[in-house]
Structure 1
Amino acid sequence: MILAVDIGNTNIVLGCCDKDKILFRERVSTSLTATDLEYAVTLRTAVEMNGLDGSEIDGAIISSVVPTITNTVKAAVEKYTKVKCKVVGPGMKTGLSIKIDNPAQLGSDLVVDAVAGINEYKTPLIIVDMGTATTLSVIDTNKDYIGGMIMPGIMVSHDSLINRTSQLPRIALEQPKKVIGTNTVECIKGGLLYGNAGAIDGICQRMMQELGKDCTVVATGGLAPIIVPLCRTSIILDEDLLLKGLMIIYNKNT
């Protein structure tokens, strides 16, 4: 059984995998001040709450876009599992050909997403990852990573809107009753959710026009289940994409 951990700016996604099967997936808040012991307790709680025995973990892998806590989480994983933990980075075999201006700049989360994407879905492929930032990655018919786009995530837009206005309230990210809002809360919900859905529809359309081909579109990330149903583009929702990618990379490097 393999423990897979993806460290994002807002959340850490973690889960256990056995061969090709994802046994569970959980999200916990990313904390810049937590110690390795605190993270180890979180890992243990997540594993045991899903009815698994931590002593059966015989491998672990991490991807991270938060360098300041990567070593802390790695130490936590090794403290809890007693196994050496791999970290996605330069020198690891991924099977992904990255054809952008500076391949070293590509975030490990986007690499992991793309590795899972080319193994699971038909190319050309657009992968939408909705986290702190919303990222779109493009993989061509040769399964090469050729570029993408980064835009503010929904919560970043929400927080900026609230912090820079005097009278607009914080809201829960729930689907609005209709597109045309009739009160402040519904107007904000519509703007954030339909605004992001419309942006994704428009960007995917423009990317396909630029490629000259229709693409498979796959979405993942914590906010994807909220936005995907509002999109007019045909989008496959795959909440386990990161964990699948981590398992593939782990197996390639074992």
Structure 2
Amino acid sequence: MLLTIDVGNTNMVFGMFQEERLTGSFRLMTDAARTSDEIGLMLCMYLQRFGLRTEDVEDVIVASVVPQVMHSLSNAISRYLGKTPIVVDDGVDPGLPYGVSGDERLGADRSVACIAAMEKYGRPLVVLDFGTATTVDAVDREGRYMGGCILAGVRIATEALFRQTAMLPKVELVRPDRVLGYTAVGQIQAGAVEGYIGAVEHLIGKAKEELGEPGARVVATGGLARLIADGTSLIDVVDSGLVLDGLAIIYRRHKDRR
């Protein structure tokens, strides 16, 4: 069994693959203060929940955008699973060619998502990841990364509104029935969700324009992808397991090269 781990700013998502099939997944909150023993014991508990043993884990591959947790996570994997994790951009190159100049590397999760989207949905592509931040990435017909953009996630935006205003309440992120709301809660939800959909639609349109591919397929992933995708016709596919699938794809290619 292959264990894949996507370490994001809010959550660490663990996925178990048998051959090429995702058979189970679970999440832990990303916390830099968490010890390796805490992570290891929770990992063992979840594996047991799926009827698996630590001995069933043949290898581990990780994509992380939170360096602060990697020491504890790596120690937990070593101590409780007896494995040294393969880390994207450290132990293995994701294999995403760049069609833009510059020395700056794309975040591991974004590279992995692009690799998975190409493998599963072809190219050209616009790939969106709705997480703590929302990222937009473009891949051309040759499979080259052509740039992207980053904006604050919709949850961050509403949290900032709640913290920086005296009388506006904290609200649940749901799409309201109308933009012209009757209550403060409804109005905030309309502005946050419908306004965010509008921003995303604009970015998709500009990305396709700059890519020169008006028919590029748009793939979305991340915890809030479905909320936004339900409000627009510009997102073609919502794939919640895109990064985990990408990790499995990169692992298989890495293993074949070895």
**TM-score normalised to the size of structure 2?**
0.93
Counterpart position of 1:171: 171
3-state SS, counterpart of residue 230 of structure 2? helix
Partner of 2:51: 51
Superimposed CA distance per residue, residues 130-172 of structure 1 (whole angstroms, 9 cap, x where no aligned partner)? 0110000100000001100100001111111111100111111
**CA spacing shift, 1:35–1:120, aligned 2, 3 Å:** same
SS at match of 2:136: strand
Which runs of 5 or more structure 1 residues have no equivalent in the other structure? none
Separation in structure 1 between the aligned mates of residue 38 and residue 223 of structure 2, nearest angstrom: 23
* Equivalent-residue separation in structure 1 for 2:55 and 2:192 (angstroms): 44
CA 1:158/1:120 → structure 2, altered by over 3 Å: closer, same or farther?
same
Q: Within 5 A, what are the aligned runs for 1:1-40?
A: 1-40=1-40
Shift in alpha-carbon separation, 1:178–1:26, aligned structure 2, 3 A: farther
User: What SS does structure 1 have at the residue aligned with 2:61?
Assistant: strand
Contact persistence 1:58–1:81 (CA under 8 A): no
Aligned to 1:192: 192
Q: Which residue of 2 aligns with 1:211?
A: 211
CA shift at 1:103, angstroms? 4.8
Give me the CA root mean square deviation: 1.5
User: What is the aligned partner in structure 1 of residue 238 from structure 2?
Assistant: 237
Structure 2 unmatched runs, 5+: none
Contact 2:62 2:85 in 1 (8 A): yes
For residue 72 of structure 1, report the CA deviation from its aligned partner: 1.2
- Contact in 1 for aligned 2:129/2:220 (Cα 8 Å): yes
**Can you list the C-alpha shifts for 1:44-74, whole angstroms capped at 9, x where unaligned?**
2332223333321111011110111112111
> What is the DSSP-based 3-state SS (H/G/I as helix, E as strand, rest coil) of the residue aligned with 1:13?
strand
CA distance in 2, matches of 1:91, 1:48: 28
Percent of aligned pairs sharing the same letter: 32
Q: Secondary structure of the equivalent of 1:230?
A: coil
- Separation in structure 2 between the aligned mates of residue 90 and residue 44 of structure 1, nearest angstrom: 25
- Residue type at the aligned position of 1:143: G
Q: CA deviation at 1:75?
A: 1.4
Superposition deviation, residue 81 in structure 1: 1.6
Q: Secondary structure at the match of 2:247?
A: helix
- The range that moved more, 188-197 or 86-95, is 86-95
CA–CA separation in structure 2 for the residues paired with 1:156 and 1:23: 32
Describe the superposition over 1:101-147 as per-residue Cα deviations: whole angstroms up to 9, x where unpaired: 33543100111111111111121100000011000010000000110
Q: Which has the higher contact order (CA 8 A, sep 6+)?
A: 1
- Contact 1:181–1:190 under 8 Å retained in 2: yes
Partner of 2:250: 249
Distance 2:53 2:191 in 1: 45
